[in-house]
Structure 1
């Protein structure tokens, strides 16, 4: 597998590529756009895989997703992937003002339409007739041509994982994923989706790894990792994950602390078991040992060293990104030759 990282900026990225980081990803939020950042990544890197992990699927039309990837392909052929996520119901409804019902069915169709645009050949109409999209495009300009850019879906629970196995080229796992969630829940669901779609090729796996390394202040890094985990677990979408691990008690505590605005109590509610199962944190040597123990709890293709972001400023996130490079002992297997 390759190790990667969320985009750390050009300076850290140059150092990261040199020591073997094989992928960079970006995403969407109110202060950054996935494709604008992706253009910066393409311009600042040479060999690594690059793509959004994830772009909000419904904030743009399938046409817009595909057009952005076509333009970037001209500069980074063979290096791109497209990760799409459905986002929360309220984000779609209240931020984007778009339909938010039936996200699993809607995103499955989105993948089909994005592929129709990516696979479009010159001189051929792009047609699609579905429940959510109807496309009948006759592009006369000779600018098309089939692009094989992998499309992945962010998947947490069983139904979305099965959909990724059925319609996408793979999936992107969440930073909360544990060994048991990967092996007992997610991968069987993906395989079930593959069977229903009669696919035989192995789906790609990418995933985030909550990573906080600080040799000078390891306690601060551990606290930041606990706080990040707690923040994620306030989301009720992840309740099946909580139940699967028997973590209802600690999660009830941290949600109560969150409602009170007590972020220290949120972090304190994350038990040592939860921290060990999810995060890689502490000193470099401690984090290396944790990573080595998690070999079967990592995505098969790309694992992103993801610094905590909840109540963590940009400078500290950049420091965590640079510190995570110490977890690599040289070129990562699968990294393109220099």
Structure 2
């Protein structure tokens, strides 16, 4: 079937333009200023044929019941179009923002996926039961409101452990915007495949992923700088240390983290090397971006690639311009 080109939710107006030129998927993450399922409801109402889903919703911020009920509600409004992407989130966010346990995140996430699927697959007249290590369900729902709903459940997986869990228990994986050809081919895909060998699942495994995309024909240098800042901001997180070591980028990452600690955002961007930009992002002029996409053929996610504008220190107006500029890249992804 080939890759579907999508984007993070750009708002109803740009989404209509994107659907009109063949963009086939939209996703939403979440943060303190935007809740995933509320935004997904907006996406369902403002699109007609595109796949829509969370990529990702914070897994531990809600119960399995809450995730499944939200997905069930929205799937009824957009049959066959909704997917559910879950991510464990940072340990400190779970502890300090949500006040929930987040130890052993791989095992906890896998258990949550099974519990969510128990609710999604619940039939009328049958007791809803699940007993896992972290979650248990024993619900006698007498009202005739259930019935199996086939909503794909995907996991945001970065390192080997979560990627293997995605292969083992989920319908697919959602790749981070930092993913390179080497990280997909040498680390993530083998880990997913290993997880699949430990599963009895036979359905094709889905690959979604974000691609940092910043295109501006009038100010390409600014677009590249925004991409550099986004890369730098992501790499301030130590979770990605195995990825940094895999690519041999310890020195520039140490420099950008030092700049981040001192509040030097320009220094952060300057520490990101040209090699890193070329391996991670699609940026500059439209012509350059098309060349970068061609060079990355085979290193994009196999099913859905979200062309995602930088968000770190980028205004809403400039993000909208990046969204619109990316509309002209769809055929370059497919070629």
Question: Shared fold (TM-score greater than 0.5)?
Answer: yes
Is 1:216 paired with 2:211? no
Is 1:7 paired with 2:15? no
Q: Report 1:277-296 matches (<5 A).
A: 277-296=279-298
The count of corresponding residues between Structure 1 and Structure 2 is 333
Mapped partners of 1:65, 1:173: distance in 2? 20
* Residue in 1 that maps onto 2:242: 240
Question: Does the Cα contact within 8 Å between 2:293 and 2:332 map onto a contact in 1?
Answer: no
Mapped partners of 2:104, 2:55: distance in 1? 21
* 1:209–1:114 distance in 2 versus 1, CA, 3 Å: same
Q: Report 1:23-38 matches (<5 A).
A: 23-38=25-40
Q: Report 1:40-119 matches (<5 A).
A: 40-119=42-121
Question: Does the Cα contact within 8 Å between 2:24 and 2:49 map onto a contact in 1?
Answer: yes
Mapped partners of 1:145, 1:293: distance in 2? 46
Is 1:229 paired with 2:231? yes
Question: Does the Cα contact within 8 Å between 2:293 and 2:333 map onto a contact in 1?
Answer: no
What runs of 5+ residues in structure 1 fail to find an aligned partner? Answer: 334-338
Question: Does the Cα contact within 8 Å between 2:115 and 2:136 map onto a contact in 1?
Answer: no
* Residue in 2 that maps onto 1:196: 198
* Residue in 1 that maps onto 2:148: 146
Mapped partners of 1:173, 1:329: distance in 2? 21
Mapped partners of 1:152, 1:29: distance in 2? 19
Shift of 1:159: 0.5
Mapped partners of 1:133, 1:5: distance in 2? 33
Shift of 1:329: 3.4
Question: Does the Cα contact within 8 Å between 2:154 and 2:173 map onto a contact in 1?
Answer: yes
Mapped partners of 1:114, 1:282: distance in 2? 41
Query: Secondary structure of 2:306's partner?
Result: strand
TM-score scaled to structure 1, two decimals?
Answer: 0.97
Question: Does the Cα contact within 8 Å between 1:19 and 1:331 map onto a contact in 2?
Answer: no
Shift of 1:201: 3.1
Equivalent of 2:164, from 162, 165, 183? Answer: 162
Shift of 1:330: 9.1
Query: Secondary structure of 1:47's partner?
Result: coil
Shift of 1:199: 3.3
Equivalent of 1:249, from 244, 248, 251? Answer: 251
Shift of 1:331: 11
Q: Larger relative contact order (C-alpha < 8 A, sep ≥ 6)? A: 1
TM-score scaled to structure 2, two decimals?
Answer: 0.98
RMSD of aligned residue pairs (Cα, Å) = 1.2
Is 1:329 paired with 2:334? no
Mapped partners of 1:70, 1:330: distance in 2? 35
Shift of 1:332: 5.9
